[in-house]
Amino acid sequence: MSTAINSVPFAEPAYLRGLPSPYFRQTHLDFQKRCRAFMNEHFIPYALEWETQGTVPEHVWHTFNKHNMLIPNLKSPLPVSWLKKLGINDILGVPVEEWDYLHTAIWVDERARTGISGPGSSLSPGFAYGIPPILSFGSVALQEKFLPSMLTGQVRACIAITEPHAGSDVANIQTTATKTADKAYYLVNGTKKWITNAIWADYATMAVRTGGPGSGPGGISLLVVPLKNHPGVTMRRLQVSGQMAGGTTYIELDDARVPAENLVGEEGQGMKYIMTNFNHERLLIAMGVTRQARVALSTAVEYAMKREAFGKTLMDQPVVRHRLAKCGADLESLQAWLYEFVYQLNNMTKAEADDKLGGPTAALKAKAGMVFRDCAETAVLVFGGNGYTRTGQGELVEKIYRDVMGARIPGGSEDVMLDLSIRQLVKGFKKQAARSRL
């Protein structure tokens, strides 16, 4: 399949346009070509149709799984020992032990060339968000129970945190998990809402309250909860504005019996586990929407060069050029920040990254959503009535615009992210100042 680079202005990041980059080594450049060929063959041409239908065919999951192309959703560095134990040695020729977050950025970027997030969201949540807490905090027994089938794609997982009355306010979740008299099971009761991919998932890594009423953040735990056909679990799809193919789900739990051995880590530590998982989620969102913004803007540029109004093309109208240029400047600034951030992540220990990059991750995620909003809105305005129509030549930009709020809310809403980022920076400053006075 073709690995050709799109020459339309703003259609590709600078390193793919042949400009020098300090970040990408040959391993990254080679992987980008193989990844683009794979996506062009198995994903990109069909994504718009899948989004319209609201479902990605099951064979797509199996194709990605067969080529180890679900593994890039995991945190980097990858869990090499587990992967090799299961016979997973490389990802399109990149040895798993050499994989880094720049490879991840390329993988997310190439998949997001669809411009829409729904089809990708049907493949990602389990590996990206459901499995990492088990890898990072699960006991050996829990890992042995679930990782072989999850990492090899035999079963699907998701992450279930959000509830009807608790979104970014994670500490306020109300779903309870109470141990049975013999301590062998938890009885889980409550609801989870806006859970991406759950309708197809076998298990959810679920935030539950084990500490009783009023226990706050210290009363939250994580459980691996069976979903499909499990007694006490009812699921239905939600109709949301965008991400039609993402399988957004409402989950009801009525005395669902979950083995006590499915506890992730320790009781009462769930809030800490969730917070460490959020940085990865926010980074993946930022990576994806940066490319979505790029698709929206470049599509608008291409349209403006051929669409005529008032006797000349839209591109010949100064007001249109100004709008496109402003979005382009914001987009390229965001892209540069994203690659710098990923480089930093690759060259810091996990402890350093957790300490210093939590706030910047939140800010990056928020900024990516804002730039995406501006680029998508500009695309719709340039397309005019066509951009407001679900079919025809404006279909793609209309669907892209529907995804905007799906980028700005999940993983922490924009205002919460901005507040978190500045609080983390001030906290770090005060800590450093206190050390300097010693």
DSSP 362-418: HHHHHHHHHHHHHHHHHHHHHHGGGGG-SSGGGHHHHHHHHTHHHHHSTTS-HHHHH
Taking each helix axis as running N to C, give the angle between helix 318-346 and helix 270-304, from 0 to 180 degrees, rounded to the nearest 10: 150
What is the distance in angstroms between the CA of the first residue and the CA of the last residue of the chain? 61
CA dist 384 and 376 (Å) reads 12
CA dist 206 and 103 (Å) reads 29
Q: Three-state DSSP class for 160?
A: strand
Contact predicate 417/167, CB 8 Å: no
| Residue 240, burial from CB neighbour count under 10 angstroms (0-12, 13-18, 19+) | middle
Residue 58 bears catalytic tag: no
Could you tell me which of 296, 288, 285 has the C-alpha nearest to residue 376? 296
Q: Three-state DSSP class for 342?
A: helix
In a 13 Å sphere around the CA of 166, the CA atoms on its Cβ side amount to: 19
- DSSP structure class, residue 113: G
> Which of the residues 51, 110, 163, 281 is marked catalytic?
281
Could you tell me which of 296, 305, 362, 294 has the C-alpha nearest to residue 333? 294
Q: Which residues are part of the catalytic machinery?
A: 281
